[in-house]
């Protein structure tokens, strides 16, 4: 009985709304286990996604080329052209000829290779710094994932605990309501006094207030879980 009740409570967490594809109908009604929540969160949580992107950037930067250890190749090319309407050409024999619509063009290509062999250990220092940033990125990713898993696990079981308490308060409200009904009936027949009726109403109002407060805690916990899962 208790296991079935807990399974029903887990339905309140909601389905994985942030998934890329809609889950099948038979999976949408299944309760979200802690393992499933962790899988969804590790894939969709914004903090985890950001720190993983930063780790990829540091991995790509930690290369010998970025540190300046490898040669660099520069390729340059150019092209120019001019159009002359009239051009007079005088050959050696003294006869001059005039040409119109002459197009002159010039192309050039250049290739340069640069390689710094020694610059006072600055290249090695830059490479070491890039490697340290790569290690720091991996460490930051691990810490972020561990913190996320701890937060989600704690909130998951907090949601279950708060939901169980909500059911207890709901049961207490039903008992107080029944007690108030019985007290009102006995006051009418003269078995109970008006003081007993007032006390029954006070107890009913107090239990109702506790139930409403507990309902807000359950709602807040559900919102927190959806935030960690990056659900819409």
39-80 pLDDT, tens digit per residue, is 999 999 999 999 999 899 888 887 777 666 667 777 788 878
Tokens of 80: 């120019």
Length of the chain: 232
Quote the CA–CA distance of 39 and 18 in Å, as a whole number. 12
Query: Domain residues for 90?
Result: 72-114
Shared-domain flag, residues 101 and 164:
no
Rounded to an integer, what is the distance from CA 89 to the centroid of its chain? 74
Shared-domain flag, residues 8 and 27:
yes
Residue 13, pLDDT > 60, answer: no
Shared-domain flag, residues 11 and 48:
yes
Shared-domain flag, residues 82 and 188:
no
Shared-domain flag, residues 50 and 139:
yes
Shared-domain flag, residues 148 and 193:
yes
pLDDT at 1: 37
CATH number, residue 171: 1.20.1600.10
Nearest to 176 by CA among 207, 131, 154, 148: 207
Q: What sign does the CA torsion over 198, 204, 207, 212 have?
A: negative
Shared-domain flag, residues 147 and 175:
yes
* The model scores a pTM over 0.85: no
Shared-domain flag, residues 98 and 130:
no
Q: What residues form DSSP beta bridges with 104?
A: 82
Shared-domain flag, residues 213 and 176:
yes
pLDDT at 114: 72
Shared-domain flag, residues 9 and 60:
yes
Q: How far is CA 146 from CA 45, 48, 141, 214, in A?
A: 13, 10, 9, 29
Shared-domain flag, residues 163 and 190:
yes
pLDDT higher at 218 or 119: 218
pLDDT at 34: 92
Total number of domains in the chain? 2
């Amino acid at each position: 009985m208790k296991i079935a009740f807990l399974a029903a409570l887990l339905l309140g967490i909601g389905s994985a709304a942030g998934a890329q594809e809609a889950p099948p109908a038979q999976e949408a009604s299944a309760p979200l286990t802690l393992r499933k929540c962790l899988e969804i969160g590790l894939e969709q949580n914004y903090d985890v996604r950001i720190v993983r992107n930063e780790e990829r950037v540091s991995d790509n930067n930690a290369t010998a080329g970025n540190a300046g250890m490898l040669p660099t190749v520069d390729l340059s090319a150019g092209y120019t052209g001019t159009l002359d309407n009239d051009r007079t050409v005088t050959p050696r024999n003294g006869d001059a000829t005039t040409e119109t619509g002459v197009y002159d063009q010039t192309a050039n290509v250049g290739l340069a290779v640069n390689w710094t062999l020694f610059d006072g250990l600055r290249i090695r220092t830059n490479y070491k710094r890039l490697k340290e940033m790569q290690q720091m990125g991996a460490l930051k990713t691990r810490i972020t994932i561990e913190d996320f898993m701890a937060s989600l696990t704690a909130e998951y079981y907090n949601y279950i605990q708060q939901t169980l308490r909500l059911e207890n308060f709901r049961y207490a409200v039903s008992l107080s309501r029944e007690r108030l009904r019985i007290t009102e009936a006995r006051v009418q027949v003269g078995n109970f006094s008006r003081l007993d009726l007032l006390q029954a109403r006070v107890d009913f109002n107090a239990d109702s207030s506790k139930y409403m407060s507990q309902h807000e805690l359950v709602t807040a916990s559900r919102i927190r879980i959806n935030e960690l899962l990056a659900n819409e």
